[in-house]
Amino acid sequence: MSGTAEATTPALPGRTDVVIVGAGPTGLALAAHLASAGVAFLLLDRLPQGAGTSRAGVVHARTLETLEPVGATAPLVERGLRVARFGVSRGRHRLATVAFDGLPTPYPYALMLPQHETEAVLQGRVRALSGDPAPVRRPYTVTGLGQEPGGATVTVDGPRGTQTVRAAYAVGADGMRSTVREAAGIGYRGGRYAQSFVLADVRMDWRPGRGEVSMLFDPDGPVLVAPLPGDVFRLVAAVPEAPGEPDAAFVQRVLDERAGGQGRVGEMLWGSRFHVHHRIADRYRAGRIVLAGDAAHVHSPAGGQGMNIGIQDAAALGRALADVLLRGADPGARLDAYERERRPAAERVIAFTDRLTRAVTARSLPARTGRDAALRLLGRVPAWRTRLAAELAGLRP
């Protein structure tokens, strides 16, 4: 450990109210809610800097509503691209169109915005609300987690060596492979879908235009094309044996084979391969240790729900911790209420995205034929279109 790193890195406090492990969207949103309420926190992340690329690309209406109290909604809307339609097609043949512009919300659209932009807005709000010019402490790796009467202890390795912080609560917002969850001994049930997926951000000519998110069905696998700010499109495709780093030629070939010649790639900005899991934690807390976001649940990206449900977890957990730490609420009862509120929401999203994933990746001819016929029929029913739009937007009761 260099003397320079020690000299330039602020020492961690020995005590705080809440230690948040993980400075992705969930951890940042929780920090913003705690700072807004006046709860002291320490936000740690193992990476030396935030990621410049990301998978999440949409902020839904319910998420925008939950971020209003911390002042993040307006800057997100200013940066993002508002899209009012979700179209489902087989090649060039339209099966259904779902519109968001009739939903009962101040934000009747899907706000398209890369995750790192969402994180930048959230970090800016944490900075403003806390008065801390550098609210995320990096890079710190959790090496130990314990509990004692009235609190939790978090031991980390970082620029100043090994340090231990005591807090009333520790929150694991550190993703699917959560160190906090594993240290707390909380199980994480579920599995992984067989398909591999390619994600790419490109500049291209796209015939359907930038006014909708397009889902295209194909026997070889679905393709999702979504517009992002700055004349960028995000493409997600189920691809057997997907390359680790897809290039422009690969993306063009996928579009040629599955999109009926509707897209012409001009510039490849970024690409990756990933697999999709569906898992949920056995419980959301163990004593003074609490989980949120992907540390508590993970599911298919179908419908763009992952980051959104994590930010909504953060809002609910922020309220619960403020009630306990500032207003004297019973800790066990209040945090159990957080789990009773958020776990069913996660179970519902896992079930919804599982149905979507299995429908869009159907391979047999009878399954694909039945799916397409059902969509053509349901797509003509206004109540079904409204219900699906509300489900995607997170507005269904």
Residue whose entry in the numeric block shows the structure tokens 């398909």: 195
Q: Which pLDDT belongs to residue 338?
A: 98
- The answer to whether the beta carbons of residues 347 and 296 sit under 8 Å apart is no
Q: Which pLDDT belongs to residue 1?
A: 43
Tokens matching residue 357: 């994933």
- Rounded mean pLDDT, 343-347: 94
Cα gap 74→157, rounded to integer Å:
37
Cα gap 42→361, rounded to integer Å:
42
Q: Which pLDDT belongs to residue 261?
A: 84
Instruction: Give residue 48's pLDDT band: very low, low, confident or very high (50, 70, 90).
Output: confident
- Rounded mean pLDDT, 200-210: 93
Contacts 24+ apart (CB under 8 A), 84-88: 84/108, 84/109, 84/110, 84/211, 84/212, 85/211, 85/212, 85/213, 86/110, 86/212, 86/213, 86/215, 86/389, 86/392, 87/208, 87/212, 87/213, 87/214, 87/215, 88/215, 88/217, 88/375, 88/379
Residue 2: pLDDT over 80 = no
Cα gap 366→107, rounded to integer Å:
39
Q: Which pLDDT belongs to residue 389?
A: 93
Instruction: Give residue 364's pLDDT band: very low, low, confident or very high (50, 70, 90).
Output: confident
Q: Which pLDDT belongs to residue 359?
A: 84
Establish how many alpha carbons lie within 13 A of residue 10's alpha carbon, considering only the half-sphere containing its beta carbon.
Answer: 12
Query: Cα 150 from chain centroid?
Result: 32
Full-model pTM: 0.94
pLDDT, tens only, 67-124: 999 999 999 999 999 999 999 988 788 999 999 999 999 999 999 999 999 999 999 9
The larger pLDDT score, comparing residue 361 to residue 351, is at: 351
- The answer to whether the beta carbons of residues 331 and 324 sit under 8 Å apart is yes
Instruction: Collect all residues with Cβ–Cβ distance below 8 Å to 69 and sequence separation of at least 6.
Output: 33, 36, 315
- Closest by CA to 72, choosing from 40, 39, 110, 35, is 35
- Rounded mean pLDDT, 124-128: 97
Angle at 41 between CA 172 and CA 137, to 5 degrees: 75
Q: Which pLDDT belongs to residue 297?
A: 95
Cα gap 163→198, rounded to integer Å:
40
- Rounded mean pLDDT, 12-38: 97
Cα gap 46→303, rounded to integer Å:
29
- The answer to whether the beta carbons of residues 275 and 192 sit under 8 Å apart is yes
Tokens matching residue 35: 């700072």
Instruction: Give residue 55's pLDDT band: very low, low, confident or very high (50, 70, 90).
Output: confident
- Residue percentage of the chain with pLDDT more than 70: 96
pLDDT, tens only, 257-291: 999 889 999 999 999 888 888 899 999 999 999 99
Cα gap 209→229, rounded to integer Å:
13
Residue 7: pLDDT over 50 = no
Residue 3: pLDDT over 80 = no
